[in-house]
Amino acid sequence: MGLLHLFSVAMLAFGALTAPCHASDVGVRQIMAPSKARGINLDVTVWYPAGSGGAPVTLGESAFFKGTPAMRDAPIADGKFPLILLSHGAGLGGNPQVLNWLAAPLAKKGFIVAAPTHPRNSGPNRSVVETIKLWLRPSDLTDTLNAVEKNSFFKAHLQGDKVGALGLSMGGGTVLTIAGARMVPQRLASYCDTDELNPSFCGWVRDSGVDLHSMDFSAAGGDYEDKRIRFVMALDPTPIDVFDIRSFSKISIPVELINMGQPGKLLVSTDASKITKAIPEATYVAVKDASHYSLLPECKPGAAELAESEKIGDPICSDGGGVRNEIHAQLIDMVVAAFSRGLKAGR
């Protein structure tokens, strides 16, 4: 996530091979997406409605977080399904497996969900310089869409042009960009002149000794819209304040914006309420009893104390008065309803 700059210890990419319950209808597999912009193949995690079979896995489990069951390489269920491109955040939220709590239920509800790993946004090789190249992220989603459409396992099961994009934290900014919003390069260069906009991320920038003013951000102002995307949903999109507010008026598809917390108490960099009126077909909801950390998986018992002992400066198990598993259930219902509505026939 954009607000989280320390990475998790021992995050398990696919978890232990235990036998989870009720996982037979969620499949998961890895595919590769060639990226011309990055010059590498992107690792893409895909969740999908599945038939019986596959190897049981627990996804996204770590020393801090509970995992989610699925069946690795299960056969795909009969039928055609809408596709959701999913963009993760950075730091502790900087890989697709952290979003299993959301992606797996979406697959159960009849969506194919494809999430690229945005390179070097998390883990031991994480990099401020690579993470702040926000203009590469929408290209990652476009490359992922191209790869899924060509993939022999999935292509016959895609439901025509029903394609949407979902982003959490820094991923929220990504999906706004792929919808047509444009960034202002100078705002990225000056983003961490103070810690006011994003204390956690800018603390990481400062600790890394990176001078953002020395970077070339000219590519950030480009047009990265993908017109195949018909609906986007952004949860706590970050950083909102690097966009040209005028560019939001050019977005021609429905957009749903969700903030985690009470309006007026949100960080400037995540407060989506101020852009809602600028987007022609936008709706806005605030989940008032949640926090930005509610977008992380459910914490294990003792995780908060472990995080403190590991000197992780962010309260990763802290929610805004609510209970995380209840907040997750609410968000899952909201996302399913939004994409069912946003990708409905005839739009």
* Mean pLDDT over each residue of the chain, to the nearest integer: 90
CB neighbours of residue 71 within 10 Å: 22
- Give the per-residue pLDDT at 17: 33
- Give the per-residue pLDDT at 345: 54
Is the sign of the CA dihedral 148, 338, 176, 329 positive or negative? negative
SS (H, E, C) 55-112: EEEEECCCCCECCEEEEECCCECCCCEEEEEEECCCHHHCCHHHHHHHHHHHHHCCCE
Helix, strand counts (H, E) of the chain: 9, 10
Banded model confidence at residue 201, pLDDT cuts 50, 70, 90: confident
Q: What is the largest CA-CA distance in the chain?
A: 53
Let me know if domain 26-342 sits in CATH 3.40.190.10.
no
- Give the per-residue pLDDT at 23: 52
Banded model confidence at residue 294, pLDDT cuts 50, 70, 90: very high
- Give the per-residue pLDDT at 226: 98
pTM score, two decimals? 0.92
Report the alpha-carbon distance of residue 100 to residue 107 in Å, rounded: 10
- Give the per-residue pLDDT at 24: 60
Domains of the chain, residue spans? 26-342
The residues pairing with 165 across neighbouring beta strands, listed in sequence order, are 85, 232
Q: Residue 83: is its pLDDT beyond 90?
A: yes
Write out the H or E segment, with its range, that includes residue 186: helix 185-189
Of 139-143, 197-201, 227-231, the least confident: 197-201
Contact 277, 257 (CB under 8 A): no
